[in-house]
């Protein structure tokens, strides 16, 4: 009987060895295949990043390889100066390492100061909460974590690199959050040298943020991009939101996309669609590739003055049109005032896009997974405009420290606009005694309420502005105050 048992053991060992060899061959083939796919997509930056991420997801069961591909993606973004995305890649790596540290109980004694797994990156990289967890090590896969990165020291190095990238893209709030995690590590180890350096770095992040806010801060811009054409295969009729630097305008963004497809299909076979056109994909000529690009803005239901404009899966596009042309699908205007007839004729098609993740993400584009379309009447549009202006004024009032430049800019833009008549025109168009009865009573009441709130906020802003005013801005402030007085009297 003993001999038979030994034969069984030998058979199990042989099968185990054979299975490991077969698995190794499969993995090697997969690595070669994935590298080839990435090489073939080298002229498409967004597709290349998508492939890096997809490959990393294929190795969820092999954390070392998963991290390898995330590191490749981080380096790819750094080479393109995409530091928003590079920082997120590093935080994804840190999350994998953190998962390992928390799931290996034999190392619990070394976990003092290690941040909690579920909330560590909530304010710096909230998308990581949607990632699948790494597997627990078992005897047959004990080598899956044999890499120096899977340690407290590896976590520290990864977080420090993430902080460096966050500073490069001026995400100082996130840099503070990540450095706070490092403070916890150093305090637990009583490493006062590193703790001193960490507190100095935190002071630097905060100081640079205050300085940046004082001189005027620029955030990324976003574009809704749609692709049409049967030649595009899987891309046909897909919508994405793209992130770009604040210096990139819609024409520049569109030109980059058109040039990309022109290289592959020929310039004569690529068409640009107006950003306000309602597209019927079935009616397009199948011989061509179509690109449509329009500027969108991040959207939150609620956001405090201290919350930077990051991490939302919702973006909005406002398309002005007049009813006389709405039926054609080719609306008037592109965002500068619409199709004529003044405010009384200005309808808005408001499209809210929902994404699969939030920006910043580990790529510069995200797929649109849902859209909501609402058409606003002229008076509803006016109410929304006033509410938006009120939110902008309140944000400047609540800012600490006071941003004099931002405060002056928002006042001049809201109370003394350079285009149209602003609140005076709104009052004359919808609240004048000769026309007010033409609009729904509830909408009129809401417009009045919104205007009164707006005027009260503007008054508070002017008072605040007066406290921090320098002589050079006194004349401009007087004009703004006079404008507000006239609008309030109206």
Query: Residue 139 has what pLDDT?
Result: 41
Query: Residue 82 has what pLDDT?
Result: 96
Query: Residue 266 has what pLDDT?
Result: 94
- How far is residue 361's CA from residue 228's CA, in Å, rounded to a whole number? 25
- How far is residue 252's CA from residue 187's CA, in Å, rounded to a whole number? 48
Beta strand pairing call for 312-321 and 365-376: unpaired
- How far is residue 356's CA from residue 365's CA, in Å, rounded to a whole number? 10
Query: Residue 303 has what pLDDT?
Result: 67
CB atoms within 10 A of CB 199: 13
- How far is residue 100's CA from residue 201's CA, in Å, rounded to a whole number? 27
Q: Which two tokens stand for residue 24?
A: 């190794």
Q: Is the dihedral of CA 326, 332, 334, 336 positive or negative?
A: negative
Query: Residue 246 has what pLDDT?
Result: 94
pLDDT values of the chain reduced to their tens digit, one per residue, 490 residues: 445 555 555 555 555 777 767 777 777 777 788 778 888 888 889 999 999 999 898 888 888 889 999 999 999 999 999 999 999 999 999 999 998 888 875 545 557 788 887 789 998 999 998 988 877 644 445 566 778 899 999 999 999 999 999 999 999 999 999 999 999 999 999 999 999 999 999 999 999 998 998 887 889 999 999 999 999 988 999 999 999 999 999 999 999 999 999 999 999 999 999 887 788 888 999 999 999 999 999 998 776 656 677 889 999 999 998 886 544 444 444 444 444 568 889 899 999 999 999 999 999 999 999 999 999 999 999 999 899 888 888 888 887 777 777 777 777 766 555 444 577 788 888 998 889 999 999 999 999 999 999 988 888 888 887 776 555 455 555 555 555 555 555 5
- How far is residue 268's CA from residue 388's CA, in Å, rounded to a whole number? 42
Rg, the chain, Cα only: 28
Q: Which residues of 123-135 are buried (b: 16+ CB within 10 A; e: fewer)?
A: bbbebbeebeebb
Residue where the block lists tokens 């006016």: 382
Q: Which residues, in sequence order, are bridge partners of residue 271?
A: 290
Length of the chain: 490
Q: Is the dihedral of CA 298, 302, 304, 305 positive or negative?
A: positive
Residue where the block lists tokens 């080839």: 36
Contact 378, 343 (CB under 8 A): yes
Name the residue among 125, 198, 131 with its Cα closest to residue 166: 125
Helices (H) and strands (E) in the chain, counts: 14, 7
Cα-based torsion angle of the residue sequence 50, 52, 58, 63 in order, rounded to the nearest 10 degrees: -140
| Residue 307 vs residues 10, 268, 303, 310: alpha-carbon distances, Å | 63, 46, 6, 8
Please report the DSSP string for 172-209 in residue order: HHHHHHHHHHHHHHHHHHT-HHHHHHHHHHHHHHHHHH
CA 65 to chain centre: 27
Contact 254, 272 (CB under 8 A): yes
Helix, strand and coil in the chain, % to nearest 5: 60, 15, 25
Give the three-class secondary structure for 301.
coil
Q: Which two tokens stand for residue 435?
A: 């026309």
Query: Residue 270 has what pLDDT?
Result: 96
Residue 251 half-sphere exposure toward CB, CA atoms < 13 A:
1
First vs last C-alpha separation in the chain: 104
Please report the DSSP string for 347-364 in residue order: EEEEEEEEEEEEES-SSS
């Amino acid at each position: 009987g003993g001999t038979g048992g030994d034969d069984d053991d030998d058979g199990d060992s042989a099968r185990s060895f054979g299975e490991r060899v077969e698995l190794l061959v499969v993995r090697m083939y997969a690595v070669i295949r994935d590298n080839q796919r990435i090489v073939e997509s080298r002229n498409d930056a967004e597709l290349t990043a998508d492939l890096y991420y997809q490959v990393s997801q294929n190795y969820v069961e092999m954390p070392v390889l998963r991290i390898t591909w995330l590191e490749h993606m981080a380096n790819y973004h750094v080479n393109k100066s995409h530091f928003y995305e590079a920082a997120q890649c590093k935080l994804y790596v840190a999350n994998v390492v953190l998962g390992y540290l928390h799931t290996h109980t034999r190392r619990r004694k070394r976990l003092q100061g290690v941040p909690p797994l579920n909330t560590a990156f909530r304010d710096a990289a909230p998308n990581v909460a949607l990632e699948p967890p790494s597997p627990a090590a078992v005897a047959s896969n004990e080598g899956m974590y044999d890499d120096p990165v899977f340690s407290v020291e590896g976590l520290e190095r990864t977080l420090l690199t993430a902080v460096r990238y966050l500073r490069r893209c001026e995400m100082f709030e996130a840099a503070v959050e990540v450095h706070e995690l490092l403070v916890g590590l150093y305090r637990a180890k009583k490493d006062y040298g590193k703790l001193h350096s960490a507190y100095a770095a935190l002071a630097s992040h905060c100081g640079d943020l205050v300085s940046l806010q004082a001189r005027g801060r620029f955030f990324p811009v976003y574009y809704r991009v749609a692709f049409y054409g049967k030649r595009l295969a899987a891309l046909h009729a897909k919508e994405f939101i793209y992130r770009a630097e604040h210096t990139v305008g819609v024409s520049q963004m569109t030109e980059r996309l058109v040039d990309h497809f022109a290289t592959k299909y020929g310039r004569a076979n690529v068409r640009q669609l107006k950003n306000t056109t309602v597209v019927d994909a079935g009616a397009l000529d199948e011989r061509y590739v179509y690109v449509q690009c329009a500027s969108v803005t991040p959207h939150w239901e609620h956001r405090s003055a201290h919350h930077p404009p990051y991490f939302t899966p919702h973006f909005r596009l406002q398309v002005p049109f007049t009813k006389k042309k709405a039926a054609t699908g080719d609306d008037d205007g592109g965002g500068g005032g619409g199709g004529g007839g003044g405010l009384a004729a200005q309808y808005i098609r408001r499209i809210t896009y929902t994404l699969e993740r939030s920006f910043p993400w580990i790529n510069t584009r995200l797929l649109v997974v849902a859209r909501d379309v609402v058409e606003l009447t002229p008076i509803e549009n006016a109410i929304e405009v006033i509410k938006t202006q009120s939110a902008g004024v309140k944000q400047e009032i609540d800012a600490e420290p006071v941003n004099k430049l931002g405060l002056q800019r928002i006042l001049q833009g809201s109370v003394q606009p350079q285009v149209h008549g602003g609140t005076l025109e709104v009052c004359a168009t919808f609240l004048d005694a000769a026309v007010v009865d033409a609009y729904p009573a509830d909408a009129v009441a809401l417009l009045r309420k919104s205007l009164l709130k707006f005027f009260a906020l503007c008054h508070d802003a002017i008072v605040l502005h007066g406290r921090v005013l320098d002589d050079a801005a006194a004349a401009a402030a007087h004009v703004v105050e006079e404008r507000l007085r006239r609008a309030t009297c109206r």
